[in-house]
Amino acid sequence: MIKLSVLYPASKGSKFDMDYYCNRHIPMIREKLGVACKGVEVEQGVCGRDPGSPAPFAALAHLLFDSLEAFQAAFAPHAETFRQDLLNYTDIQPVVQISSVKI
């Protein structure tokens, strides 16, 4: 299993529209990726390790795929569309990581 993680670092003054992200961006991604995407999880930062400390990330998204090849084949044709939609919900430059899920 391969996990695509997209992390949006929080910073003072940055914007992130969670409503748009969950109700428009993610459904568009799911529709374009089709059956290659085995699952999606979206998280909204609440706080850091210490109570009351700011969350290091405004949001995180995780998408699951059977293999790296399945991810690449499904994602590549739509990558530009996904990038262009970014400006509709945030001004944060996301950090992306692709991982192999072990447990």
23-52, pLDDT tens digit by residue?
Answer: 999 999 999 999 999 999 999 999 999 999
**Nearest-CA neighbor of 59 among 86, 32, 27?**
86
Residue extents of the structural domains in the chain: 2-100
Q: Is domain 2-100 classified as CATH 3.30.70.100?
A: yes
Calculate the CA dihedral of residues 75, 78, 84, 87 and round it to 10 degrees: -40
pTM of the complete model: 0.95
Calpha distance 73→50 (Å, rounded) = 41
Give the model confidence (pLDDT) of 48-100 as tens digits: 999 999 999 999 999 999 999 999 999 999 999 999 999 999 999 999 999 99
